[in-house]
Structure 1
Amino acid sequence: MVKCLLTGGSGFIASHVLACLIRRGYTVVTTVRSNVKGSKVLLPYESLPAGTLSFSVVDDISQEGAFNKTIEENPDIEYVIHTASPFHNNISDPIKDLLNPAVNGTRGILEAIKLYGKLVKRVVITSSFAAIVNTGSHPFIYDEKSWNPVTWEEAINDHSLTYRGSKTFAEREAWKFLELEQPDYDLVVMNPPLVYGPVMPHIHALESLNTSNQRVRDIVQGKCVEGAIPPTGTFLWTDVRDLALAHVRAIEVPEAGNSRYLITAGHYSNRQIVEAIRKTHPDLLPSLPINPVDDFPPDVYGYDNSKARDILGIKFRTLEESISDTVESFKQIGVLN
């Protein structure tokens, strides 16, 4: 069986990537921040044959050599899927808390693979639409050639740009490493926008929902009944299960290498989320805002997801299916209690 290293295994996206890898017959070692998180990750897979799934604790991915031990102890790894990102609840110093850890963490795992991962053929990194979007001047169509023009100075001085800067600089560091170091592996980068979809009840609790799903939570809990729904912000989305499959297909399709992939199902707005819930879960009508304003702009930017469809073979779910399944999963973690 082919062995894959999956970083950040307790994360929202990674938990679905792991499920996809296991379904498709891979042996997996995943990194987590603690033994407690590792035990939760293993919980639904206890019946798997011994050695199919294991975890390694990496408590701070931004530390120098953070992944060295994990990769050195698993010399048979052939693929790496790097979803982990620096974790900080409060950002007081943009450089120290987010920008440097993002860049250093990306460079660190690539260096560790070059040093110890002698069998690794391909590395897949989870970046973001944040590394693509140009909020100051949207192009007519976004695709993989689009890059966020944010500068280091802007990311430091404008905290609304710090996260986007961290994703942009980290991804640029990965491509720079590939060009300068010429490792024996190639690189694939995923650039998803907002990610919706069901949570894994064995891992995710109400307080640990990803940012996108927090919107759905607030709507179904009636927090938007009295006031307007919040601005949509980014008008592109994807389902976490499609994104997970894209990660795995990226290690399976030879011609997928050395490319970025805009993983999006298309346009949406928060109003459309409300309507999807209204249609699929009429029992929640009392909690939903009545006739909320739709902020979807008539001149919204376009997108080109043809590479994801044609090369990776992704068939994207509808918003209605994604949101319906998200709400169903919320019932299992007490969101609707």
Structure 2
Amino acid sequence: MTRVLLTGGSGFIAAHTLDLLLKHGHSVVTTVRSQEKADKIKEAYPDLGKDKLDFFIVEDIAKEDAFDKAVISNPPFEAVLHTASPFHFKITDIQKDLIDPAVTGTTGILKAIKKSAPTVKRVVVTSSFAAIINPDNGLWPEHTYSEEDFNPITQEQAMENPMSGYRASKTFAEKAAWDFVEKEKPNFTISTINPPMVFGPVVHYLNSLDNLNTSNERIRDAALGKFKDEIPYTGVHVWVDVRDVAEAHVKAMEIPEAAGKRFFVTTGYFSNREICDIIKKNFPQYKDLPSETTPGGTFPEGGMFKVNNKRSVEVLGLKFRSLEECVVDTIKSLQSVGL
């Protein structure tokens, strides 16, 4: 059993990670933004005492000292999984709403661990394919993306639009984490998890379909008939199931060989048309789905970049779920809130 601090416990990935940590017998304190969020998580685990699951409220991760008290525990923490970072495009200020919380949240927790939690040996940070991809090179069919790639985005480019701001936030935060370890030489090692589009069933508290995490919105919209006349452009054609991302976080903490490594955690390719076809095949009650002649949602004609997920398979032992299993389980989980 490891004593673990999990940040951002009510998030989409974090909720699955928490579930897995508890199943693996670890003792977890998770940070949340409010008491209400803590109460909702607690409702899902009514039989667990504070020794197994406890909470710490961190209202604003962008504050320099946000995690100073959160990292102090009795018994002391041995590992930290840092998943808290904004992923949405409903923003007014790219710097303030995206970049600052991501970068300051990451460096802030690393500083706090070094200063006040000397027993922590492993830190796992949720990064993203956004910190790997080079959008300037477009589809780049001759290239294979792997952990060797880093998004070369600049501060100036980050300010162009919310998508660039999001990609910059993940890139700058991850680079800041690696720089911290190199310069500060702390007692702990870090690993980063870099998933692309993350789909999958919702296990965190969801009160309506309007509050869904960004990636899953396209599965919801397809089922609601919004793609009936035209299937939207797929965008980044690589994906992973949230349960596999959660497993990557827990394994990166548990497996010694994962220390000091990035992990590009991806199943492979998908298209919006495939998502629609899977819904149609498994849920005949949804009538307004695209037909075979509906335009859009396919793969790019000239081919696209390749992906290398070898490290996730060989070091973490991941066995990736299929798109069909993922979409079916996602729809089932959304039916409980009215889909």
Q: Which TM-score band applies after superposition, normalised by the shorter structure?
A: over 0.9
Query: After superposition, where does 1:158-169 map in structure 2 within 5 Å?
Result: 158-169=161-172
1-structure distance, mates of 2:61, 2:182 = 23
- Closer, same or farther in 2 for the Cα pair 1:102/1:202, shift >3 Å? closer
Q: Which amino acid aligns with 2:33?
A: R
The alignment yields a C-alpha RMSD, in angstroms, of 1.6
Structure 2 gaps of 5+ residues are: none
- Deviation of the 1:208 alpha carbon: 1.9
Equivalent residue, structure 2, for 1:248: 250
Equivalent residue, structure 1, for 2:330: 326
More deviation in 110-119 or 194-203? 194-203
Structure 1 gaps of 5+ residues are: none
> 3-state SS of the aligned residue for 2:69?
helix
Equivalent residue, structure 1, for 2:320: 316
1-structure distance, mates of 2:208, 2:265 = 26
Equivalent residue, structure 1, for 2:127: 127
Equivalent residue, structure 1, for 2:12: 12
Equivalent residue, structure 2, for 1:289: 290
Equivalent residue, structure 1, for 2:148: 145
Query: After superposition, where does 1:1-337 map in structure 2 within 5 Å?
Result: 1-74=1-74, 76-86=76-86, 90-137=90-137, 138=140, 140-200=143-203, 202-203=205-206, 205-225=208-228, 227-284=229-286, 286-291=287-292, 292=294, 293-298=296-301, 299-334=303-338, 336=339
2-structure distance, mates of 1:294, 1:101 = 33
Deviations 1:220-244 (A, max 9, x none): 111221x312111000000000110
1-structure distance, mates of 2:215, 2:163 = 17
- Deviation of the 1:279 alpha carbon: 1.6
Q: Which amino acid aligns with 2:219?
A: V
- Deviation of the 1:60 alpha carbon: 0.2
Note if contact 1:190-1:247 (Cα within 8 Å) is conserved in structure 2. Answer: yes
Note if contact 2:16-2:246 (Cα within 8 Å) is conserved in structure 1. Answer: yes
Deviations 1:48-84 (A, max 9, x none): 2441001100000010110111112446110100000
Note if contact 2:77-2:120 (Cα within 8 Å) is conserved in structure 1. Answer: yes
2-structure distance, mates of 1:255, 1:52 = 27
Note if contact 1:238-1:264 (Cα within 8 Å) is conserved in structure 2. Answer: yes
Q: Which amino acid aligns with 2:271?
A: S
> 3-state SS of the aligned residue for 1:63?
coil
- Deviation of the 1:97 alpha carbon: 2.5
Note if contact 1:224-1:289 (Cα within 8 Å) is conserved in structure 2. Answer: yes
Q: Which amino acid aligns with 1:282?
A: P
Structure 1-normalised TM-score? Answer: 0.95
Note if contact 1:86-1:105 (Cα within 8 Å) is conserved in structure 2. Answer: no
> 3-state SS of the aligned residue for 1:224?
coil
- Deviation of the 1:204 alpha carbon: 5.6
Q: Which amino acid aligns with 1:213?
A: N
Deviations 1:62-112 (A, max 9, x none): 101101111124461101000001477743332222222221111000000
More deviation in 314-323 or 149-158? 149-158
> 3-state SS of the aligned residue for 1:157?
coil
More deviation in 29-38 or 203-212? 203-212
Q: Which amino acid aligns with 1:319?
A: L
- Deviation of the 1:198 alpha carbon: 0.4
More deviation in 92-101 or 54-63? 92-101
Deviations 1:256-300 (A, max 9, x none): 01010011010011001011111222222x121122334312412
1-structure distance, mates of 2:254, 2:147 = 20
> How many pairs does the alignment contain?
333
Deviations 1:110-129 (A, max 9, x none): 00010111110110000111
> 3-state SS of the aligned residue for 1:64?
coil
> 3-state SS of the aligned residue for 2:240?
strand
Structure with more helix by fraction: 1
Note if contact 1:201-1:329 (Cα within 8 Å) is conserved in structure 2. Answer: no
Tell me the percent identity. Answer: 48
- Deviation of the 1:133 alpha carbon: 0.8
> 3-state SS of the aligned residue for 1:72?
coil
More deviation in 137-146 or 106-115? 137-146
Structure 2-normalised TM-score? Answer: 0.94
Q: Which amino acid aligns with 2:152?
A: P
Q: Which amino acid aligns with 1:93?
A: D
